[in-house]
Amino acid sequence: MPKPLILGYLGVLLFMIGDGVEAGFIAPYMADHGASTDVRAGYVITVYGIAVMLASWFSGALCQVWGPRRVMWTGLAIWAVFDAAYLLFALGTENYPLMLLFYGIRGFGYPLFAFGFLVWITNTAPKARLGTAVGWFYFAFTGGLPTLGSLWSSLTIPSFGRLGTLWSALALILLGGAIALVGARRRPGGDRMAPPEVTTGQSLLNSVSIIWTHPRVLVGCLVRVINTAPEFGMLVYLPRIFSDDIGFGEDKWLQLLAIIYGTNIFFNLIFGVLSDRIGWRTTIAGFGALGCAISVTTLYFVPTWLGADYYWVAVLAGMFYGATLAGFVPISALIPSMAPENKGGSMALLNLGAGGAAFVGPAIASLFFPLVGAGGVTLIFLALYLVAFVLTLLLKLPEERGDKPPAVDPTTGQQPRTDPASTTTSA
């Protein structure tokens, strides 16, 4: 962990706890308070996912010209203002159009904050420890969304109710934002990264032009979408299935969710460190893509087959999925290293993939659930992970393709990153 950014990691953890408080129950809660059906609630989450996708793309490009610090402040302000409006005027009055509006706009908040900090990390971490530094980021990110966030809601719902729990999330957001931004206000790497002559429009254009100048980065973006799309998609249909259909109840479902991503946060560190030793691409393909193809199927079909008396089996299946999900962590080190002369653009496209998952996953669940049911949607997610395995094999660094990388990244003035095992990894 880059020591100057320790308070930033802590702030991101608290921020994402606040963001993850609602993960395990917001879809059925909206369905019962204005959305009318689970499918209509899924549409709200899909609109939210579109905003997350766009903000994730903007975060990388805006960090180049605004600096990560200013981008994070913007994300914090958006989240706080529109969450309050959502709770007061949408849920509070059970107004479905306002749910779509305020919850959707709020989606711009967390990507600007969290992925702005990720850019800060990649801009300052030593290249030999970049995989580990990124692993610490995802430790904080998934430690909050939805791990400790779900645990928090399981503890507060009995005392404060679901609406009170949602208000407590806003307090966590403000606390985490204050710690991250005030604690790291004088730390290096948080200011403008691009040369003075680069405009905001040019930075956004660079984040698009990389699609045809470095098509493999676009492939990496697709892999990043597949990485967490099933995670977000299952949150649309699994809450009712595990709570009601299987019979675990909401409390055990929320605890299971916390266990899944509690396992994930520790394996984020493990695979971050391991990837610095065996290679970033090898870790992503073997432990991430293939591992998730098996574990996502196990997570749904085994508990639904065995029933409520085998909760411990569901816990093991959840831990398996949480562990393999962490196998994708090194992609945040690999993708910027594939285009060292346009690292800002590659980070923007990578963040677009991360945000796109929040749209693609719920969209797949909402569209296909009425047609093929939960089992069919799960098989679609299985197929996506197999596609990700094939695509990962194409993610080769410049030196692996025989290209000579530039000595210095002209955008940031830094040395380009290299996969620690790229000379020995041939996957």
Task: Dump the DSSP string for 285-341.
Answer: IIIIIIHHHHHHHHHHHHHHHH-GGGHHHHHHHHHHHHHHHGGGTTHHHHHHHH-GG
Chain-centroid distance of CA 1 in Å reads: 19
Distance from C-alpha of 133 to C-alpha of 185, rounded to nearest angstrom: 19
Which of these, 137, 131, 184, 151, lies nearest to 354 by C-alpha position? 137
Distance from C-alpha of 268 to C-alpha of 327, rounded to nearest angstrom: 7
Whether 362 and 233 have beta carbons less than 8 Å apart is answered as yes
Which of these, 75, 62, 71, lies nearest to 108 by C-alpha position? 75
Distance from C-alpha of 277 to C-alpha of 255, rounded to nearest angstrom: 34
Q: 368: which residues sit within 8 A by CB, 6+ positions away? A: 376, 377, 380
For 182-206, write each residue's pLDDT tens digit.
877 777 777 887 788 888 888 888 7
Q: 244: which residues sit within 8 A by CB, 6+ positions away? A: none
pLDDT of residue 205: 84
* Buried/exposed 281-293: b ≥16 CB within 10 Å, e otherwise: bbbbbbbbbbbbb
What's the whole-model pTM score?
0.77
pLDDT of residue 410: 44
Residues of the chain with CATH 1.20.1250.20: 1-184, 202-398
Q: 318: which residues sit within 8 A by CB, 6+ positions away? A: 256, 257, 259, 260, 263, 299
Quote the tokens at residue 384: 């996506």
For 324-374, write each residue's pLDDT tens digit.
999 999 998 898 888 877 777 788 888 889 888 988 998 999 899 999 999
pLDDT of residue 403: 64
Whether 123 and 412 have beta carbons less than 8 Å apart is answered as yes
- Note if the bond before 28 is cis, omega within 30 degrees: no
Distance from C-alpha of 107 to C-alpha of 23, rounded to nearest angstrom: 13
pLDDT of residue 326: 93
Q: Write the burial class of residue 218 (CB in 10 Å: 0-12 exposed, 13-18 middle, 19+ buried).
A: middle
For 52-91, write each residue's pLDDT tens digit.
889 988 888 898 899 999 999 999 999 999 999 999 999 9
pLDDT of residue 426: 31
pLDDT of residue 406: 52
Whether 174 and 84 have beta carbons less than 8 Å apart is answered as no
Question: Half-sphere exposure of 223 toward its Cβ, with a 13 Å CA cutoff?
Answer: 29
Q: Name the superfamily (CATH) of residues 1-184.
A: MFS general substrate transporter like domains (1.20.1250.20)
pLDDT of residue 1: 64
Distance from C-alpha of 342 to C-alpha of 301, rounded to nearest angstrom: 43
Distance from C-alpha of 118 to C-alpha of 112, rounded to nearest angstrom: 10
CATH architecture assignment, domain 202-398: Up-down Bundle (1.20)
Q: Within 10 A of 324 (CB to CB), how many other CB atoms are there?
A: 26
Q: What's the CA angle centered on 229, arms 223 and 234, to 5 degrees?
A: 150
pLDDT of residue 404: 60
Q: Within 10 A of 241 (CB to CB), how many other CB atoms are there?
A: 17
The position carrying tokens 């990720």 is 118
- What residues of the chain score a pLDDT lower than 50? 408-414, 423-427
* Buried/exposed 244-278: b ≥16 CB within 10 Å, e otherwise: eebebebebbbbbbbbbbbbbbebbbbbbebbbeb
Distance from C-alpha of 232 to C-alpha of 367, rounded to nearest angstrom: 14
Whether 353 and 223 have beta carbons less than 8 Å apart is answered as yes
Distance from C-alpha of 394 to C-alpha of 303, rounded to nearest angstrom: 35
pLDDT of residue 423: 42
Distance from C-alpha of 158 to C-alpha of 367, rounded to nearest angstrom: 33
Quote the tokens at residue 61: 């490009």
